[in-house]
Amino acid sequence: MRKIVHSDNAPAAVGPYSQGIRAGNLLFISGQLGLDVETGQIPYGDVEAQARNVLKNLATIAEAGGTSLAQAVKVTVYLTDMGDFEKMNQVYATFFPENPPARVCVAVSGLPKGVEVEMDVVCLCEE
């Protein structure tokens, strides 16, 4: 079973991809940027605010897919500056206070819309 997952309460895709795809008991959520859905703005220069928005957007899509970030099994974090690792990590820890998922964090030369952080996630879903 392959099902498209979409939430109007998360940023629309900026290309030809889905916000999420549910396949069996897994939900694959596409990379999210730090767009504040309420204001339509990205807090450029504030990696903590961007990380918070990214994680809120991921949580919103997870909910639309019938799960939550508490069921995350793998997160990938992309940073344009590894000097922001600790700031991002402090925000990240508030979303995963116990039993955090597996994770990788990589430095990249650039991200869409000039943001400083992007994340994607894979979550378990109830069958």
- The rounded distance, in Å, linking the Cα atoms of 110 and 12 is 20
CATH dotted code for 2-124: 3.30.1330.40
Query: What ranges do the domains of the chain cover?
Result: 2-124
- Residue 125: active-site member: no
- The rounded distance, in Å, linking the Cα atoms of 114 and 112 is 5
| Residue pLDDT, tens place only, 2-39 | 999 999 999 998 899 999 999 999 999 999 999 999 99
- Exactly one of 105, 111, 124, 125 is catalytic; which is it? 105
Full-prediction pTM beyond 0.85? yes
- The rounded distance, in Å, linking the Cα atoms of 122 and 7 is 16
Q: Is the pLDDT of residue 77 over 80?
A: yes
